[in-house]
Amino acid sequence: MSARGVPFHCPYCGDETLRPHETEHGSDHGAWECRACLRAFSLKMLGMITPPAPPAPPVTGAEVPR
C-alpha cells in the first residue's frame, strides 16, 4: 500500500486538476486542493471491511424436510 492515497478527480466538481494541499505549517497528509472549484479536501483510510458472506445455496423441493 502506498503512503498517500491519490484521488483521480475532485469529489465536488469532478475536475482532475488536483494538487497536494499546502498550509503554512507544511503539507497536511492526505489533503488535496482542486484548482477548478478552489476547494480543499482530505482522504483518510478508515480501515478494512469484512467481505459479505457468500449467498446460501437455493433450497429445492427434494431438500425440504416434512
* Structural domain includes residue 49: no
Determine the 3-state secondary structure of 64 from DSSP. Answer: coil
* Structural domain includes residue 4: yes
Task: Please write the tens of the pLDDT for every residue from 39-60.
Answer: 999 988 888 899 999 998 888 7
- Helix-, strand-, coil-residue percentages of the chain, each rounded to 5: 5, 25, 70
pLDDT of residue 1: 44
* Structural domain includes residue 61: no
pLDDT of residue 24: 73
User: By C-alpha distance, which of 60, 63, 14, 62 is closest to 41?
Assistant: 14
* Structural domain includes residue 62: no
Structural domain range at position 26 = 1-44
Q: Indicate the pTM of the whole model.
A: 0.59
Determine the 3-state secondary structure of 31 from DSSP. Answer: strand
* Structural domain includes residue 22: yes
Task: Please write the tens of the pLDDT for every residue from 4-43.
Answer: 568 899 999 999 999 999 877 666 678 999 999 999 999 8
* Structural domain includes residue 58: no
Say how many domains are in the chain: 1
